[in-house]
Copies of this chain bind each other. A is one copy, B any other.
Amino acid sequence: MTIPPVSLKLSDERLRVTFRLTGDETEARVKAEDICIEQTVEFPAHLIESGDIRDKIFGRIESFEQADATAFTAVISFAVEITGFELKQLINVLYGNVSLKPGIRVQRVDIPDLLLSSFRGPRFGVDGLRQLTGIPDRPLLCTALKPLGLSAEQLATQAYQFALGGIDIIKDDHSLADQKFAPFAERVSRCGEAIRIANGETGYKCMYFPSLTASPDTLISAATMARNAGAGGLLISPGIIGLDAVRFLAGSDQVDLPIMSHPAFQGTFVTSVDNGISHGVVFGLLARLAGADASIFPNFGGRFSFSKSECTEIADNCLAPMGNIRSIFPTPGGGMSLNRVAEMRATYGDQAIFLIGGALHEGSGDLMKNSRMFRRLVEQGD
């Protein structure tokens, strides 16, 4: 049965997605045309008669040009209405089925205001986090409580020393969930208390971001419990609990905590230049749209393999104007150390959170002293 002409009331606003398509011109053109169908009707095009499904629901190739010797760049637009104005379906339109087809990479996403305005985005963003930490203009300092296997008490001792040393945000290592050696409730309570006491001594406003790994039915109660126990924010891995769970928490009237996103389990989106989604879209645009106030990513030259330009692409996507959506803190980390601070400052400027983890245990091994050195290095850069 062919699909008869349908008339649909749709706006003229279209989501624009820039794809990198591997192959020669013919192959890349076939991919572009395929995306128009695969990401929308997923149906034999020849069976759809003229009308609004063909004219408006099909993706539309807006431009097509050679990118480099092995690939072409196509901008394909989609009617905003096919997203249903929700994040889950937006993700599906961007890269749902074509994630299963090789040689297609989402490079850039341009979301019109009509669609952006359906999202609340981050509750705090750069300005809100600066207000909460009381740090008006320099980069914020962040570290992590670790390793997995320590007790809640031992982690709290670390938290106290880091806070005395002037760290702005102390997060759990993302490996800390609800293991019996340091259960979530006890850990949050002890670490929250340790940081509160340290703040009383220093006058600083250090914040604690425990790692939240709750389930759909316990997200709100776990976040509320964390807040009541002294958490100032939450560390969440959208790759694991889902971008929509981040959106839900960031938009909930029942929780009033900033969110720092962690990149765990999201690596395969960016490992190939031919497939996946660009670093800037995954760790910048999508994290921000979902409502993260800060987005952790592996800095170049550390334990991971991102390049400098991939990292600055992330920072750009965190900070560039985006309609009603607040800008957020790019948070480079992953094998960073004190001797990288000047280079990080040169790369990211002031609108960033610098995350140094294990390295603060090196050298003298005095966490307070090392944290003070970290703070001095950043303040000196002012």
The residues of A with any CB-CB pair to B shorter than 8 Å are: 1-3, 6, 8, 38-44, 47-48, 52-53, 56-57, 81-84, 86, 88-89, 91-93, 95-102, 146-151, 154, 173-175, 177-181, 213, 215-217, 219-220, 237, 239-242, 244-245, 247-248, 252, 263-269, 271-272, 275-277, 298, 303-306, 334, 357-359, 361-362, 365-367
Shortest Cβ distance from A95 into chain B, in angstroms? 6
B44 adjacent to A148 (CB under 8 Å):
no
CA distance A213 to B268 in the complex (A): 23
- From A42, A173, A244, name the one whose CB has the most chain B CB atoms within 10 angstroms: A42
Task: Answer whether A305 and B57 are a contact pair too, CB < 8 Å, given A86-B177, A180-B81, A275-B272.
Answer: no
Copies in the complex: 2
Contacts of A41 in B (CB 8 A): 146-149, 175
B272 adjacent to A148 (CB under 8 Å):
no
B8 adjacent to A149 (CB under 8 Å):
yes
Shortest Cβ distance from A119 into chain B, in angstroms? 13
Chain B residue nearest to A245 in the complex (CB): B216
Contacts of A47 in B (CB 8 A): 358, 361-362, 365
CA distance A98 to B97 in the complex (A): 24
A216 adjacent to B248 (CB under 8 Å):
yes
Shortest Cβ distance from A259 into chain B, in angstroms? 14
Shortest Cβ distance from A110 into chain B, in angstroms? 20
CA distance A2 to B147 in the complex (A): 11
A-B contact pairs, 30 of them (CB 8 A): A8-B149, A38-B303, A41-B148, A43-B146, A43-B147, A47-B361, A47-B362, A52-B149, A53-B148, A57-B149, A81-B179, A83-B177, A84-B178, A91-B265, A92-B174, A92-B264, A97-B267, A99-B264, A100-B263, A100-B264, A101-B303, A216-B217, A216-B219, A216-B248, A240-B244, A242-B245, A268-B269, A268-B271, A268-B276, A272-B272
> Could you say which of B6, B98, B175, B366 contacts A42, with CB atoms under 8 Å apart?
B175
Contacts of A43 in B (CB 8 A): 146-147, 357-358, 361
> Could you say which of B6, B81, B277 contacts A150, with CB atoms under 8 Å apart?
B6
CA distance A215 to B178 in the complex (A): 23
Shortest Cβ distance from A39 into chain B, in angstroms? 8
A148 adjacent to B82 (CB under 8 Å):
yes
Contacts of A95 in B (CB 8 A): 265
A241 adjacent to B88 (CB under 8 Å):
yes
B244 adjacent to A367 (CB under 8 Å):
no
B150 adjacent to A3 (CB under 8 Å):
yes
Task: Answer whether A53 and B147 are a contact pair too, CB < 8 Å, given A92-B174, A304-B101.
Answer: yes
- From A102, A175, A177, A215, name the one whose CB has the most chain B CB atoms within 10 angstroms: A175
CA distance A290 to B92 in the complex (A): 21
CA distance A6 to B150 in the complex (A): 7
Task: Answer whether A265 and B96 are a contact pair too, CB < 8 Å, given A57-B149, A241-B88.
Answer: yes
